[in-house]
Amino acid sequence: AQSVTQLGSHVSVSEGALVLLRCNYSSSVPPYLFWYVQYPNQGLQLLLKYTSAATLVKGINGFEAEFKKSETSFHLTKPSAHMSDAAEYFCAVSYRNEKLTFGTGTRLTIIP
């Protein structure tokens, strides 16, 4: 069975500081990994996805993530936080284009 674990349900960073949101996966087969962002009372917007091509994946809004098989990790980073980055972030895993399995989410707060 596939699963993802997001470490830290709440993360606070100062505006302009590095954003690091952690995600570890468990999968018995090569996973496909995703990061989504959710703003209040809205659906999920795809930030980026890893589908077995380059291990460093660049997404929208300056975010990127690196797939590390040895660490079973897919952490999300952004060099400089902006106030508009405040939202809920979800890591998800899929196998063979079937259902997504989500983590419990990390709420990102940006301190002015």
Residues that bind another protein (CB under 8 A): 32, 34, 36, 41-46, 49, 51, 90, 92, 94, 97-105
Cβ-based nearer residue to another protein, 73 or 101: 101
**Least distance from C-beta 78 to another protein, angstroms?**
21
Identity of residue 14: S
Q: What is the largest CA-CA distance in the chain?
A: 42
Contacts for 97 with CB less than 8 Å, ≥ 6 apart: 32
Helix (H) or strand (E) holding 110: strand 106-111
**What one-character DSSP code corresponds to residue 18?**
P
Cβ-based nearer residue to another protein, 13 or 33: 33
**Least distance from C-beta 89 to another protein, angstroms?**
10
Token reading at 48: 């980026």
Cβ-based nearer residue to another protein, 70 or 98: 98
